[in-house]
Structure 1
Amino acid sequence: MTRTPEDAPLAPGTQVGTWRVVECLGMGGQGAVYRVEDIARPGDFYAFKLALHARDERAEREVALMMGRAAHPHVVRFHGCARWPHPREGRLGFVMDWVPGQALDVWAESHGATFRRLAALGATVARTLDDLHARGVLHRDLKPEHIQVRASDGQPVLLDFGVGWYPDAPPLTTGPLPPATRYLVSPEAVGFLWRSAEHPGTRYAHQPTDDLYALGVCLYRATTGHYPFPEWWPPDVLQSAIVHVRPVPPALVHSRVPRALSEVIVRLLEKDPRARYPSGAALHDALVAVAREEDATWDADIFEREQQDILRPPRPRPTWTSESPVPPRRHHVWPRRLVLAAAVTWLLLPVGQAPRSPPEAPLPDAGWTAEARVDPLSVQPEQAPLPVRNQKRAPCTKGLEVELSDGCWHSLVKQHPPDCPPQTVAYKGQCLWPVPKSRPEPTSIDGGLNLE
């Protein structure tokens, strides 16, 4: 076998162990996912996740987790391992179920997705997390893309345990926080990050309540069409909002959301972890209880439609001016940057405010401690807007669209900052609206790989 460049996908027909590659489903920073066919059983298809680098400890860690502690009816099922291109020295990959279906946020925008069904899905995910937590397993990167709604039976399946943790797991990296998606990090984790400079070498101990907070963010996204705080905000401002600003309740963002469901989600997003549901089992019971209500709104589609287009409510956020609210990064002014970011967020957001002091995370058992890292990123003035999810990417239509940060934008020529309408971004004197990309109904999963 000839060695394939690490950054090139395997060609259809390539044989890896006892599987034949059918197509590449996507590539990310750590690996690629393929749909493969069992050579011994033609017509049986699976997903194959292959590490991009040899001796990838993350891949070995994920395999160890998927083979044992993470086995569960609502976790994507593990089938075997293979290496490529050499069967002993090549890059590690593993085979799992190929699960046709939709990510939770995509499913929520489909016809027939109701609030009652969403509550049932959330309850099942909560119970699954409770079972995993009882075994000492933490997902640590729960997001809508990692909750797949299976097409065959409408049941949720958890994907991508690449940064998951379990007792005695080898560390991924060193640093104060585990690997994470910024807009899904809990308030107590952000507070720990802020205090970590005063205690060098300390590491945040991810808790079950962190996974449940992330599930709350996923349910917020599914019910409103938006995240509690825009994912493209500058990191420092986003962190300050997570710690200090109470998100607008889903029922006030989207009038179709049943109030009881909105209250469950609001509790999941409490700043103090002690005010949230104490376990996945408790959350499961709460969601099952509210879904028993007989109000007809529970059985309506989550989003209205105008022909084939989803009608989302406006995003609950302020409009940015062209000037960044956070000064350029200088090491000796780091604490002042946080204060400024928080102050700007309080002034701009039309929502309630939580206490100003960062929440203290309860001291966990030493057994939960894990090594990992997320560093705060620098923010430069006049930062170009980042593409949002489901936005059309370059190449853009010349003469009609503006290309920025590899995304395509419409410039609203008759409107200028600071009077930009909702769901637009102000940049260099223009109001920019993200051009949506077409969203065909997905027929397969990414196999657990984050492909954004």
Structure 2
Amino acid sequence: MRQYPEDLAPGTRVGRWRVVEPLGVGGQGAVYRVEDLEHPGNFYALKLAWYASDGRAEREVELMMTRAVHPHVVGFHGWARWPHPREGCLGFVMDWVPGLALDVWAEREGSTFRRLAEVGATVADTLGELHERGVLHRDLKPEHILVRESDGQPVLLDFGVGWYEGAAPLTTGPLPPATLHQLTPGAVRFLWKSREHPGVRYAFQPGDDLYALGVCLYRAATGHQPFPEGLPADLLQMAIIEARPMAPVLVNPRVPRALSDVIVRLLSKDPAKRYPSGAALHEALSSAARGEEPAWDASIFDWEEVPPAQEGGSPERRLVRPPRPKPSWSAPPPPPVPVRVEQRSRWPSGLVLAAVVLLALVSMVRVSPEAPSVQAPDEKWATDVRVDPPGPARYEQAPLPVRNQKQAPCTEGVEVELSGACWRTLEQRSPTCPRLTFAYKGRCFLPVLKEQRAPTSVDGGVPEER
């Protein structure tokens, strides 16, 4: 029977590590909690890529071993291949960090704005140090900022699309793999203009990372993205360039004004009006967090008691999420960039404005990620892996999400994550998959049709070239 990275059962031995339990499956691979057999009782996270030659995994290892070593960056402890020590899928072992993603942590009762500003300041300082070393994260989003359970300190994850001098491109398009909501107005303008200049690539800057941190802080402080999550890609790109997101304090009145002002400045359309460096942002957030107003030590969101489900039970407390913000246009919305009709409809400007104001909840148009290259494994990535039974590696493209499909995070134990979306695994196995399901790695997957919040990283290439 063939085996794939998500198939490792507890007890499986991969090099000197023993699988304890699965932690999650994503579009780039599977992650497990493992125990170091040479030092029993020490636990780590093993990330197995889908492919033998995976540019993102190799990029992440390269950075974690050298330029990105930092107390607030997940640590690296070794690599392995599975199921074959030379041709198997590439995996690497890193710190296992119990904790919560920034947006999930913010929605936990007891999380305060003072702690949010302090966490943001630490992330800003960390990014500033990495930028001085020539390292750019390029995919900063709430799920890549983990708030550690033991001490409440942030840890940056997932440098798979990070950049350093001499790093090879990961995509064929003008932008690196990106999450549309995190893109700066400058990156979107470059994407539009790149259609006139095939082959050009966007020069990602430290300011792009800081802008993305501003989006993360906005999401944590308000419970929403700066722009509606359900906008189609075309409208979202226009909103990023032309629409002004509502200030956080106007979305969630609990937000201290000083913190709201910092976030608003981070999301300025003009790069010159933003903070010039991670150090400057660190100082701004630290200074704001020294405020003495009671709002700083209040819970980020309001909570209310709800009656118990059964008579005699204890009442439960439920988070009260602020209403969805409505962005305003700083100028009349422009008509879309003319492209081929089959790829982009020519929306009248009035309809664009109406769509944004009414917050049309339409699934975001996805751009296919770059197909992975399958090359002979580099000698330096070979290792001793003892797994039984062995099986050949398989190279397939994970199914892409469909319209209105629920996005990650997925319900643990019920759904699996592929390409950033949620799927249910059926008992049937390919090639006898039922209609409306997708066959992948010998299994049948049914898309979960419930819209969720955060889009996953996609290739930011030119849509009509895909």
TM-score clears 0.5: yes
Change (3 A) 1:217 1:344: farther
Instruction: Give yes or no for contact 2:407–2:452 (8 Å, CA) kept in 1.
Output: no
Residue ranges of structure 1 left out of the alignment (5+ in a row): 319-325, 352-371, 375-382, 396-402, 410-433, 437-448
C-alpha offsets along residues 360-400 of structure 1, whole Å, 9 cap, x if unaligned?
xxxxxxxxxxxx979xxxxxxxx9534356687677xxxxx
Change (3 A) 1:333 1:92: closer
SS in structure 1 at match of 2:33: strand
Partner residue of 2:118 out of 99, 117, 120: 120
> Which amino acid in 1 is paired with 2:74?
V
Distance in 1 separating the partners of 2:45 and 2:85: 19
> Which amino acid in 2 is paired with 1:291?
A
Instruction: Give yes or no for contact 2:112–2:300 (8 Å, CA) kept in 1.
Output: yes
1:159 aligns with 2:157: yes
Partner residue of 2:320 out of 302, 308, 311: 311
SS in structure 2 at match of 1:29: coil
Q: Within 5 Å, which residues of 2 pair with 1:254-333?
A: 254-307=252-305, 308-317=317-326, 331=340
C-alpha offsets along residues 267-287 of structure 1, whole Å, 9 cap, x if unaligned?
111112121111111100000
Instruction: Give yes or no for contact 1:102–1:149 (8 Å, CA) kept in 2.
Output: yes
Residue 225 of structure 2 corresponds to 227
Change (3 A) 1:233 1:85: same
Residue 239 of structure 1 corresponds to 237
Residue 81 of structure 1 corresponds to 79
Change (3 A) 1:211 1:100: same
Q: Within 5 Å, which residues of 2 pair with 1:144-155?
A: 144-155=142-153
Change (3 A) 1:271 1:84: same
1:346 aligns with 2:356: no
Partner residue of 2:127 out of 126, 129, 139: 129
Change (3 A) 1:146 1:14: same
> Which amino acid in 2 is paired with 1:211?
D
Distance in 2 separating the partners of 1:373 and 1:293: 46
> Which amino acid in 2 is paired with 1:206?
F
Q: Within 5 Å, which residues of 2 pair with 1:12-411?
A: 12-307=10-305, 308-317=317-326, 331=340, 337=346, 340=347, 343-349=350-356, 384-387=403-406, 406-407=447-448
SS in structure 1 at match of 2:79: strand
Residue ranges of structure 2 left out of the alignment (5+ in a row): 306-316, 328-334, 359-368, 372-401, 412-421, 425-435, 438-445, 458-466
- Provide TM-score, normalisation by structure 2: 0.73
Distance in 2 separating the partners of 1:242 and 1:386: 23
SS in structure 1 at match of 2:164: coil
Distance in 1 separating the partners of 2:50 and 2:344: 38
Deviation at 1:334, TM superposition (A): 6.9
Distance in 2 separating the partners of 1:388 and 1:8: 19
> Which amino acid in 1 is paired with 2:203?
A
Q: Which moved more, 1:87-96 or 1:291-300?
A: 87-96
SS in structure 2 at match of 1:96: strand
Count of equivalent residues: 368
Change (3 A) 1:269 1:168: same
Instruction: Give yes or no for contact 1:232–1:387 (8 Å, CA) kept in 2.
Output: no
Instruction: Give yes or no for contact 1:140–1:164 (8 Å, CA) kept in 2.
Output: yes
- Provide TM-score, normalisation by structure 1: 0.75
C-alpha offsets along residues 19-63 of structure 1, whole Å, 9 cap, x if unaligned?
001111111121111100011222211001111111222211211
C-alpha offsets along residues 225-278 of structure 1, whole Å, 9 cap, x if unaligned?
000112321110111111110000000001100111101001111112121111
SS in structure 1 at match of 2:9: coil
Distance in 1 separating the partners of 2:403 and 2:77: 44
Distance in 1 separating the partners of 2:17 and 2:179: 32
Change (3 A) 1:394 1:240: same
